[in-house]
Structure 1
């Protein structure tokens, strides 16, 4: 599989049609198309070049633009007729309680009264330009000129779910609780995103929106409940969680063709180790596994089964006996499975024969904690296998060769057809970096400051190096936001990311030209 990406950057007159273009491209049925994510000024396209070439997708885009009358609405949700003009258009009307924490300050800075702020903001019809940052967060334009205030100097650590907010010319809604620096005007009285709803997203990119002020102090909406991605009562119960460990997550390859809704890719961080765990059992590569971070859970076997554990970070122990590294093994009801850190990495993957039983959302059972899709393992959880995980016979397998960490990470241009800036390449390859910390969103590096800055927000592949205005480099990982606004000089070769995600804090991170 050769994953590549490119940017389609059309002239300004075509920017409003990018959401429709993305939707139609994804519906075209081109093999290997992994995602198409519209932003303000660009369309990001990601594909498997073994199935469809970049040239073929570019040719499709050229043909699409050449076709007469290619346009249309992409909205969904609760439309009302706007009644504006000869050709009526659908507008989604969202009820709002304008009681936001920043409303008095917005009124003061704009020179308006609070009722005038509400009247001015709710009198505008907005266009959803993109969904991103977190699942279902709509970036809408255009906020009336008197209300175009900068972001807060100090972002809040946590903005409540359903908050209506403004920043510059943009209006947005926080579907879930998340950090943020926008100015809070109020809260919506319907959720713009709910994974339990038949139509999870209230609005789409390209859709028109108005806000209807609701008087009084209506009760706030509760935060969205996570959607469980495995059956609470599996058909073939196999393991029960007795202790959850630091972080355990149900994962598969990831959630594709969903970036335009603001959903993160998710999926296993160490694709090499996860694929090995499945291969040791003869499973398909996309079978669901448990991704175990740093410590690992304590599990009890409820039925006979064959399991495999692979990954540099943890060693599996069956009834206290260590299993060979990167191996498969049989277990019986009542057996206890535990894990100990190896000190050589941070992740391991547990697979069962046939794969874990799942309840996918938008084609994937991968956990997205920020998006409310699944949750971390908890004591008492029961996981089942797809069919019986035991056929009465097992020949143990072990994979010994395993790539050592520490080798330089190869650098590629972020998009196909782009070139690495020689000055950026030299700065990255000559500097000495260490890993400061790593989570599922990004790896953050300590070292010399690089040339950073802000750009117009757009999507980027997993592995992209972003540099903040302060010069701090970070490498985007699977749970990154779907849109980002920092300078991105390069990306890490996809085949090298498994080494990166197994790196421990304080260890060196080196780069080389790819």
Structure 2
């Protein structure tokens, strides 16, 4: 699915009244949805509206937003939520010493305020709360921690917040909540939403454990097709991803190369949204338990049926006792294994896609049994191979982004970059420094090229955090997601910047 989007901006700084207006508009738009709008991501001072251009155009979406905005009411208050906190954070002694306050006085003042949930993002359920008493404010830590424990209460400048899940972080740790803000096992997974009011209450008690990942694969599928004899490097059940979840800090996830996933499903007669397997770098070894039809669409590996090569993008039949494995290929890293009738899987918020950051699903492991949801016969040998030649360096087209500047766009187009790291979150490049910097945190579109103050460009993909505080001078052209999904560390890339 190709998506586009635009921002509606309400202010250029943290402003409670502006945030109330954008939250009122968000509520109104959610109450009166428009087909084709795929996400709404509110932040401190802007609302990002994402839409599917194959269903609706930007003019219609802007008209809808304007019509609903005229009827939005800011006087509709959010909920007030009291959260018990154990003030035992690792940084609390240092914080109170720097502020020249006793522990009790700091706790009294930090817990005595009412905080607005300006936005939810960074990680699933993470609330950006403001504003902290001016006399309590301290900057972020100079060296972020690689791992902040789940349920940590923290503070940085005018913001305070809560880490629902363990993650990296650079805020000052004050304590722990005694309730879970996010748990995918609950009927209502998220405790807080943007626009709510939070009050902290000093309490004693046990810190809850971090929730386990939600299992999506059925333990006993109705029509078993494959047993996993050996997992690959990262085998994930995906579909086209989750819609309308960005306001909770959840990523879209789903197929990293949507065009290839759609093609795989189409070749075996499935709907585009049917669950299939995304294989990354090294595929699994699968033992067939019954007869079925399958196809592999992608790059980076070649399927071997009973050790004989099967052409990618060509349907084939597996029979009971067959073994399907994958050999490496010189180009690419990712492809999709689809079966006629689709893989059986549960869903979470409308999607079967694994979300590793959100504790939804998991990679395949040895002994898993994969079932077919609704089998149907498909003729072997049916194929369609897209024209997709390997290029060195790879060329990716870029469009000007929300913080585009002539200097940044010139730097991106000026030379050849090398892929330093690449995963489902994004691709980090090395090469010519690109002008970048910090901004007020706002929604991060899929395909944004984010640039840190250090000048490092990062192409953000489907598992990216939904909010970010860095410049985004460019956006990946929607037609180049398949090429971006096949980048390997060490590969070379040139960017071609197109006019807006």
TM-score bucket of the superposed structures, by smaller chain: over 0.9
- Indicate which of 157, 179, 200 corresponds to 2:146: 157
Is 1:5 the equivalent of 2:5? Answer: yes
Unaligned runs of 5+ in 2: none
Distance (Å, rounded) in 2 between the aligned partners of 1:385 and 1:64: 43
By how many angstroms is 1:164 displaced?
0.8
More deviation, 19-28/348-357 = 19-28
Distance (Å, rounded) in 2 between the aligned partners of 1:461 and 1:513: 18
TM-score by length of 1: 0.92
CA deviation vs aligned residue, 1:73-116 (integer Å, no higher than 9, x gap): 354xxxxxxxxxxxxxxx21111111111111111111111121
Is 1:134 the equivalent of 2:119? Answer: no
Aligned to 2:49: 45
Aligned to 1:402: 387
By how many angstroms is 1:399 displaced?
2.4
More deviation, 254-263/47-56 = 47-56
Distance (Å, rounded) in 2 between the aligned partners of 1:405 and 1:490: 24
- Indicate which of 376, 387, 393 corresponds to 2:374: 387
Aligned to 1:347: 334
Structure 2 residue matching 1:64: 3-state secondary structure: helix
Q: 1:146 to 1:300 in 2, by over 3 A?
A: same
Confirm or deny: 8 A CA contact 2:179 2:207 kept in the other structure: no
CA deviation vs aligned residue, 1:106-128 (integer Å, no higher than 9, x gap): 11111111121111111111110
The 5 Å alignment of 1:91-102 reads 91-102=80-91
Distance (Å, rounded) in 2 between the aligned partners of 1:501 and 1:203: 33
Distance (Å, rounded) in 2 between the aligned partners of 1:160 and 1:130: 21
Structure 1 residue matching 2:315: 3-state secondary structure: strand
More deviation, 37-46/140-149 = 140-149
CA deviation vs aligned residue, 1:222-254 (integer Å, no higher than 9, x gap): 111111122222121111112112111111111
Unaligned runs of 5+ in 1: 76-90
By how many angstroms is 1:40 displaced?
0.5
Distance (Å, rounded) in 2 between the aligned partners of 1:14 and 1:371: 29
CA deviation vs aligned residue, 1:338-359 (integer Å, no higher than 9, x gap): 1111021111211111111121
Structure 2 residue matching 1:345: 3-state secondary structure: coil
Distance (Å, rounded) in 2 between the aligned partners of 1:234 and 1:155: 44
Distance (Å, rounded) in 2 between the aligned partners of 1:124 and 1:148: 14
Confirm or deny: 8 A CA contact 1:17 1:206 kept in the other structure: no
Aligned to 2:419: 435
Aligned to 1:466: 450
Aligned to 2:464: 480
Aligned to 1:299: 286
Aligned to 2:40: 36
Confirm or deny: 8 A CA contact 2:275 2:345 kept in the other structure: yes
CA deviation vs aligned residue, 1:254-298 (integer Å, no higher than 9, x gap): 111100000011011112221221121011111111111111111
By how many angstroms is 1:450 displaced?
0.8
Is 1:19 the equivalent of 2:23? Answer: yes
Distance (Å, rounded) in 2 between the aligned partners of 1:184 and 1:329: 55
By how many angstroms is 1:71 displaced?
4.2
Distance (Å, rounded) in 1 between the aligned partners of 2:2 and 2:382: 28
RMSD (CA atoms): 1.7
Is 1:250 the equivalent of 2:254? Answer: no
How many aligned residue pairs are there?
492
Confirm or deny: 8 A CA contact 2:90 2:174 kept in the other structure: yes
By how many angstroms is 1:67 displaced?
2.9
Structure 2 residue matching 1:121: 3-state secondary structure: helix
By how many angstroms is 1:414 displaced?
2.9
CA deviation vs aligned residue, 1:431-473 (integer Å, no higher than 9, x gap): 2111111011110001011101001111122111111000011
Confirm or deny: 8 A CA contact 1:64 1:70 kept in the other structure: no
By how many angstroms is 1:367 displaced?
0.9
Distance (Å, rounded) in 1 between the aligned partners of 2:70 and 2:31: 18
Is 1:363 the equivalent of 2:350? Answer: yes
By how many angstroms is 1:398 displaced?
2.4
